[in-house]
Structure 1
Amino acid sequence: MIAEQAQVPKSTGRGEDRLVVIGDEHGIWCAAVIDGATDKSGRIYQGQSGGALAAECVAATLRQLPPGTAEQELGASLRADPLRIGAHPSTKGLAPGATSFDDRTYIRVHRSADDPVAAT
């Protein structure tokens, strides 16, 4: 159950941040706030700023992940392809001594059937 959500851009338009909530009949299994980057060039791509387009790409990727996709799977992928040039290409590789190619935050929500909030 989502009690409240909001996305308020600092200026007119949709802005560059995205909120993604993914679930099914068993509840929410992914919730993400994507902090889009401001594209200082002002260029427009497919009707969107570069930051909005980047945020949309991240949101679309999250929506394609199967339930249960976990941090361990990302770790295995990074070990298999630390330069990110194989199955999941990226503009950033895994630098020596780093544990990831970029910072990230995620949340996984599990609610039990007997949770009084889940029953409302």
Structure 2
Amino acid sequence: MEIEGTIKLIDETKTYGSKGFRKREVVITTDEQYPQHILVEFIQDKTDLLNDFKPGQPVKISINLRGREWTNPQGETKYFNSIQGWRIESLQQQDGSGEMPPVPPMEAFEPAEDLKEEDYDDLPF
């Protein structure tokens, strides 16, 4: 699955437990009639994917939906959902993106005056 939107917030990487579990969260604001603020978490080595991004930047994030079950000490079962990102791409145009350069105005060109009639007759039909 993928979601698109503008980065609202990028949190710092946080480390948990003795094994060094890492997690970093980003909030994306969708661009629709009723914008949604979606929290996406990146874990372990994927936390570094957010290093080159900034708030206000339009992005597309590839995500997985995760769900888990937990039973508290009183025996009640609870369910939790999370959205985990595994790829993030900028939606802004990059320099050298393959777009044609702008064409200079007509006044920048000199008219060709040395053309002969036979120059126009080079078509094979």
Q: TM-score range, shorter-chain basis?
A: under 0.3
Larger CA Rg, structure 1 vs 2 = 2
Scaled by the length of structure 2, the TM-score of the pair is 0.22
Q: Under a length normalisation based on structure 1, what TM-score does the superposition of the two structures give? A: 0.23
